[in-house]
Chains A and B, each alone.
Chain A
Amino acid sequence: MLYAETMKDDPASSPAPGSLRRRATVFVAVAVAYYGLYLVVFAFRVSDYWKDVMRHFPFARKLFG
């Protein structure tokens, strides 16, 4: 059998529907928490970046300062 055939989604190896739903719920909950954390950290990094741009370039200070 070619590997291409084995690569198709295999229902036999997929989790049962009930287990899938539980797993999906936990996964989504963790994902939501992770996205929240990431966006907060990312916002701080971007804010640092803009502060750095403002600090370095006189034209940025004139435009945004």
Chain B
Amino acid sequence: MIALPGFLIVGTVFVVFGDRLARALKLGSERPAERFGLGLAVSFAVVTFAVFLLALARRVSFASSAILLGLMACVSLFSLRETGRWAGSWVSSLRPRRTAEGAMGALAGTLVVLGGLAAMAPPTGIDTLHYHFVAVKRMLQAGGLVPDGGPYFHRTGGFYFPYLLGMALQGDGLAKFFNFAAASSALALIAAAADRLKPGAGVPAAAAAASSPVVAAYLGYEFLELPALMYVSAALYAAVRYRAGDGGRWAAAALAFAGFGLGVKPSNFAVLVLAAFVAIELLRRDGTRAWRPLAAGTLVAAVGAGFWPLWNLASVGRLFPSYAFFEAPASETHPSFLAWVGSVAWFILAAPPYWSDAFGPLLVLGAVGAALFRVGHGGRFLSSAAALSLVLYVGFIATAMPGYFSRAVHSHNRYLSPVLVALGAAAAGVFLRWALDGSPAARRLALAAVFIPALPLLALKAGRTAVAVPAALGIESRDSYLGKKIEVYDACLAVNRLPEPVRVLPLVHQPYFLDRPVVELWTIDWRNVRSGEDLARAARSAGATHVLVEPRIPENCGLPGGTNAFVPPDFREIGDGWDHWDGRRIRLYELSPE
């Protein structure tokens, strides 16, 4: 809470800097929501590449990060008064209205406020503390990029660098805030794109996007789907501007943002459909004059999508580290293609095992409705792009990742979400606007279509946020909150308090809160570990002095005996351990000298 004014100042610098740069590139707009959304997206793209260069030079520190932010602030200073004017007019236009559109605006606003509150609490995302923030913390400890070799470290670099800037300047609070800012930008850009396609469709589109379970769940969270959604939404908005006749620069911008969207997560590859639509339109409309925006857009897109894979290639020898989990053994039998497509369709239409991966029915209905009722050319453009993205995704996964094909599809709908949420929510906005302008019955149905799935979701989000609010507002301490939410948190604090020398092998799912040097568990060759004695020998030779053990992790690593393998004389237990949900205890051991 104390840090909030600082976060808002940093956020303002990002908005103003990006807006100024966009206008310098003749990508301006007079509409406040568009300036806000586009400004943030441009700034995040610039920061991503600038911090990557700092990290490559191993020059990431508080000082270098403050200098970068200071430079952005200097550029922003010249536009501060103008920003105050348009931001003021935007805020005053957001007053509540007793209309269907006002109700949808209130829904989107409430979800954003709840997400904002959740964003101020300490990070608790399972994957965040398992690898996203862990990778960023390792970079910060090393002052920049070091080849890590971890299975997750090399996969998803695009938004790690804004996170790195946030962590270097303040800590994980600012990094989390950057994710929330990116999500807000995404909602503004989806609304802007829909409003450009059909005037008045912006607010319904924002409500459709915000009330998609995958967005509502991750608003204020640290996962990468919403930063990816920001770039996809920016690409969509720029594509819409180009299609409206606003010049080839917008086509170049659409390609560039698509590239940065791909850079956030390679699994976001369905964004290529949007890029292909823009490139084809550019060539069709501008002929030989298309080469300049095409070349410029492709170049920036290649930078945005390519810098991390190139670093991977230079450091670990592969553009994209393997998704080993998805590479099924040859003997594994696969279901038939049709059965698999059926399961994909089911999990997209309904709710996958993680409720937070669901798209919600409104986006599907909106895209189908916009196509079925021929709601302008915009509706058809969005629906056909969404359909093609889905076909590309299913086709690619089925042909290129057979392991994924067989077993993991049911829980990874969200990999499609950046593209399908952007296109689906914009289509839903266009369709809802069309319905709101129709008969009173159509207006009532449109409201029901938005609020029936949104109300339980709103209750769920409010409940989750309520748990985080005391910590977000500083009423509850960070240690108390994290001690309740993260089972290994107290164990990590105990390791942090150990006297030197300490180098810990964390056999835990979420090692983020460890501040001491670590021996990563993937540096151990588990194929040669057949007993606790073998593990002690391997850990010692990797330089470990202690081992932190969470139940189930040794078993998952293939250690015979699991948690029972940690016995004297190789392992001496420190303390009495900590509770674990499965009834066993998390334990800390000192490795005896050889």
At the interface, yes or no: B378 with Cβ under 8 Å from chain A? Answer: yes
- Docked complex Cα distance between A46 and B375 (Å): 34
| Most chain B beta carbons < 10 A, residue from A7, A34, A49 | A7
Contact A57 B485 (CB under 8 A): yes
Q: Mark A12-50, 1 if CB is under 8 A from B, else 0.
A: 011100001001100110010011011101111110110
CB-based contact A10/B376 at 8 Å:
yes
Give the residue of B351, B442, B452, B484 whose beta carbon is less than 8 angstroms from that of A45: B351
The complex places the Cα of A4 from the Cα of B250 at a distance, in Å, of: 14
Scan B113-134; emit 1 where CB is below 8 A from any A CB, else 0: 0000000000000000000000
Residue of A nearest to B246 (CB): A4
B561 close to A (CB within 8 Å): no
Residue in contact with B453 in the complex, picked from A14, A39, A59, CB distance below 8 Å: A39
CB-based contact A7/B349 at 8 Å: no
Query: A55–B244 contact, CB under 8 A?
Result: no
Q: Assuming A7-B377, A35-B452, A38-B361, is B487 touching A56 (CB within 8 A)?
A: yes
B453 A35 Cβ-Cβ under 8 A = yes
Number of B interface residues at 8 Å Cβ cutoff, please give it: 40
User: When chains A and B are docked, how far (Å) is the Cα of A59 from the Cα of B467?
Assistant: 11
Tell me, rounded to whole Å, the shortest Cβ–Cβ distance linking B406 to chain A. Answer: 22
B374 at interface by CB-CB < 8 Å: yes
Contacts of B378 in A (CB 8 A): 7
Interface size class of A (residues with CB under 8 A): 35 or more
Per-position binary interface string of chain B over residues 353-379, scored 1 when its CB falls under 8 Å from any chain A CB and 0 otherwise: 111001011001100110011111110
Residues of A within 8 A of B361 (CB): 31, 34-35, 38
The answer to whether A7 touches B355 (Cβ under 8 A) is: no
The yes or no answer to B445 lying at the interface (CB within 8 A) is yes
- Residues of chain B with a CB closer than 8 A to A44's CB: 351
B365: which A residues are within 8 A, CB to CB?
Answer: 31, 34
Chain B residues, Cβ within 8 Å of A9: 198, 375-376, 434
Chain A interface secondary structure, helix, strand, loop or mixed?
helix
Q: Are B372 and A27 in contact (CB under 8 A)?
A: yes
Which one of A6, A20, A49 has the highest number of Cβ atoms from chain B below 10 Å of its Cβ? A49
CB distance from B431 to the nearest CB of A (A): 10
Q: Is A41 a contact partner of B245 (Cβ separation < 8 A)?
A: no
Q: Nearest B residue to A20 by beta-carbon distance?
A: B373
CB distance from B584 to the nearest CB of A (A): 14
A residues in contact with B487, CB < 8 Å: 56-57
Flag if B245 contacts A42 (CB, 8 Å).
Answer: no
A42/B376 in contact, CB under 8 A: no
Closest-CB distance, B553 to chain A (whole angstroms): 15
* A58 to B, closest residue via Cβ: B579
Q: Are A7 and B243 in contact (CB under 8 A)?
A: yes
Please tell me if the beta carbons of B581 and A57 are within 8 angstroms of each other in the complex: yes
Given contacts A7-B243, A58-B579, whether A38 and B376 have CB atoms under 8 Å apart is no
Would B377 and A6 count as touching, CB distance under 8 A?
yes
B449 within 8 A of A: yes
Instruction: Give CA–CA (A34, B350) in the complex, Å.
Output: 8
Distance (Å) between the CB of B223 and the closest chain A CB?
16
- Residues B456 and A45 in contact, CB atoms below 8 Å apart: no
Chain A residues closer than 8 Å to B485, beta-carbon distance: 57
* Contact present for A23 and B373 (CB under 8 Å): yes
| Chain B residues with CB under 8 A of A34 | 349, 361, 364-365
Which residues of chain B have C-beta atoms less than 8 A from A42's C-beta? 213, 350-351, 355, 358, 453, 456
Give Cα distance in the complex from A3 to B278, angstroms. Answer: 13
Residues on A with beta carbons closer than 8 Å to the beta carbon of B63: none
Q: Which residue of A lies closest to B357 (CB)?
A: A45
Contacts of B197 in A (CB 8 A): 7
CB proximity of A40 to chain B, nearest CB, Å: 9
Q: Is the CB of A27 within 8 A of B369?
A: yes
Tell me, in angstroms, the Cα distance from A56 to B489 when the chains sit together: 14
Which residues 178-214 in B have Cβ within 8 Å of A in the complex? Answer: 197-198, 213
* Cβ contacts under 8 Å, A23 to chain B: 372-373
- Give the residues in chain A near B354, CB-CB below 8 Å: 45, 49
Q: How far is the CA of A27 from the CA of B85 in the complex (A)?
A: 45
**Interface of B with A (CB < 8 Å)?**
197-198, 213, 243-245, 349-355, 358, 360-361, 364-365, 368-369, 372-378, 434, 442, 445, 449, 452-453, 456, 460, 484-485, 487, 579, 581
10 examples of A-B residue contacts, CB within 8 angstroms: A4-B243, A7-B377, A27-B372, A27-B373, A35-B361, A35-B452, A44-B351, A49-B355, A55-B581, A58-B579
User: Which residues of A are in contact with B by a Cβ distance under 8 Å?
Assistant: 2-4, 6-10, 13-15, 20, 23-24, 27-28, 31, 34-35, 37-39, 41-46, 48-49, 55-59
Besides A35-B452, A45-B352, 8 other CB < 8 A contacts? A4-B244, A28-B445, A39-B452, A42-B213, A42-B456, A46-B460, A56-B487, A58-B579
In the complex, the 9 A-B pairs of residues with the closest C-beta atoms, listed nearest first: A45-B355, A2-B245, A41-B350, A4-B244, A59-B484, A56-B581, A42-B351, A7-B377, A38-B361
